[in-house]
Amino acid sequence: MEDSLKKKHLRKQEGFTLVELLVVIVILGLLMGLVLPKYIAKEKKGRQSAAKAQIELLGQALDQLRLDAGRYPTTSEGLNALMANPGTDKWDGPYLKKAVPNDSWGKPYMYQSPGAHGDYDLYSYGADGAPGGEGENKDITSWE
């Protein structure tokens, strides 16, 4: 009889109470509320940094093409001239190891030559895909 009482007593102590579960859920919710916004902000800043780095690397490849061919690709030739000869005699590419990447938001980089800000303009419109903007929507450009 004592054994059965001990077993019943042990069964009552097993598991978590509803109050304990609710406390854990509230704590997890508070942690997510504090951590998640900071993580999202870091991700957005990381995308902008990646786009800036890609524009810099594409600019170096364009400069190498200009040294070889004597000119930058025209707007109509675009960035594809870094991978395939657009019909230039002294082209010595490809100037990139991989295909021309899209920006961090999956859109193609914009290229104009001659540009309004130099020999060429290379830019991304940011997350919104429209000119201008602030924060994540800010344009990433080769001339700034």
For 1-30, the pLDDT digits (tens) are 556 555 555 555 678 888 888 999 999 988
What's the pLDDT band for 110 if we cut at 50, 70, 90?
A: very high
- Residue pLDDT, tens place only, 60-100: 999 999 999 999 999 999 999 999 998 888 999 899 999 99
> So where are the chain's domains?
48-141
> Mean pLDDT across the chain, nearest whole number?
86
* Top-level class of domain 48-141: alpha beta
> What is the model's pLDDT at position 134?
85
Q: Which amino acid is at 23?
A: V
| Inter-CA distances, 57 with 10, 31, 52, 73, 142, Å | 67, 39, 9, 16, 10
